[in-house]
Amino acid sequence: MKSRQSRFHMLLCSILLASSVPLYAAEAQAAPAPADGSAYTAGDGGWAGTAGGITGGSNADAKHIFTVTNRRELLQALGAADGVNGDDNAEPKIIYVKGTIDMNVDDDNRPVDASYYADPAYSLEQYLQTYDPNGAWGRSKTPSGSLEEARARSQKNQAARIQYRVGSNTSIIGVGADAKIVHGNMVIDRKSDGTGVDNIIVSNINFQDAYDYFPQWDPADGGEGNWNSAYDLITIKYASHVWISHCEFSDGDRPDSMNGTYYGREYQHHDGTVDISNSANLVTLSYNYFHDHDKTTLIGSSDSGKTAEGDAGKLKVTIHHNRIERAVQRLPRVRFGQVHVYNNYYKDITGYAIGRGVSSQVYSEANTFENVAKIVDLYDSKGAGYVYDQGRRSGRRQASRTHGPRRNSGTARSAGSPAAPTPITPKRRPRRRRMCSRMRGPFGTAR
């Protein structure tokens, strides 16, 4: 009977991985999305469930349970209407998202474009002429002066409209199969007193196209310069205890292939899908579908300086049971963090999957890589990082391998794990975990 069950589970896993159905949807029965802001604990296999776990808005009273269908209703539910941010609204609340909410609209819910936000002194044509790296401006200086200031004001105008800030003790849950938030940037950050937001659940929502109309040129970014945009689909800074599950992330109907180029570089309108930085901590991304995007998940935004202050010992993130397709890079790209990446399915990745940054500790376990250009890439010249990769599948059996100084990587595993194993040399073949093995986490915790 046991062997028959084992064969059944292996067959089920094969069907799920071969299917075109998104992983987060296909496994919903085995690991259901929270329908009512229910709690997430350490037993669920991730950093987010540690140090007290997550309840989100499960303690909300009847007055703080909302169903929202447009931008205005969402802001009101967050306590952020009339220009007041929702960061300080720590009242337990459950917000159900029904249908499509477009954040790039005016007060009458009518879609707007770049002209709605553009500062009178800003002109893209003049910007391109002024800061041409092959012209008088050159490549040694970042853009500055009145025209760059006008671009920044335009970008700030857009941010005031499309960003929506989430306070502590909040669950935001999609209703049904068609809940979407498009053209917006969810911000989970810190309150006006400087302390971080805590205890957030986001589930069952399709996030699309956080489109920046006013990218900034940086001639010092990379060897040839790059255009950079300001908005992620979800930005997590300073916050703790954040669980994002059963969601979908993409560029929607404006993929990067439509961007075009200026100065010979892609005119990039999108930043990350879920970016985690600035001392954020205890975050889990599970059963999500990431696809058709370039810079997917950045953990730690800088090697040094103000944005990196306090990152050491923080940025503890678990990424498990996600499906990631037709992406380019940062899946994730880690600085400083202790990150456990397990049981994820990567397909058609044109850049790299896991980026090893300064002082990072990454434990990669039982992931499947199909048509991935590079599984691990190195970005830690300013301080050695570490990736311990065990039980991967990439078309053939491979032994575990280390990327970086050989040292104990156990702190990168999600809390609740057994003692860390000694890194295994290529001569030893570890026991590989089956993908979705009875839907168990990496520590034998039944789902």
The residues carrying an active-site annotation are 330
Spatial distance between the Cα atoms of 262 and 264, rounded to a whole number of angstroms: 5
Residues 6 or more apart whose CB falls under 8 angstroms from that of 277 comprise 236, 237, 298, 299, 300, 301, 302, 307, 311, 315
- DSSP conformational letter for 404: S
Distance in angstroms (rounded) separating the CA atoms of residues 33 and 243: 11
DSSP codes, 273-319: SEEEETT-EEEEEES-EEEEEEE--EE-S-SSSGGGTT-TT--EEEE
Classify strands 226-228 and 216-218 as parallel, antiparallel or unpaired: antiparallel
Let me know: does 52 contact 423? Beta carbons within 8 Å.
no
261-262 and 265-266 strand pairing: antiparallel
Give whole-number Cα distances, 203 to 29, 333, 416, in Å.
Answer: 15, 23, 23
Q: Which two tokens stand for residue 351?
A: 């850049």
Q: In a 3-state reduction of DSSP, which class is residue 365?
A: strand
Considering only CA atoms, which of 272, 302, 337, 358 is closest in space to residue 47?
337
Q: 332 preceded by cis ω (within 30°)?
A: yes
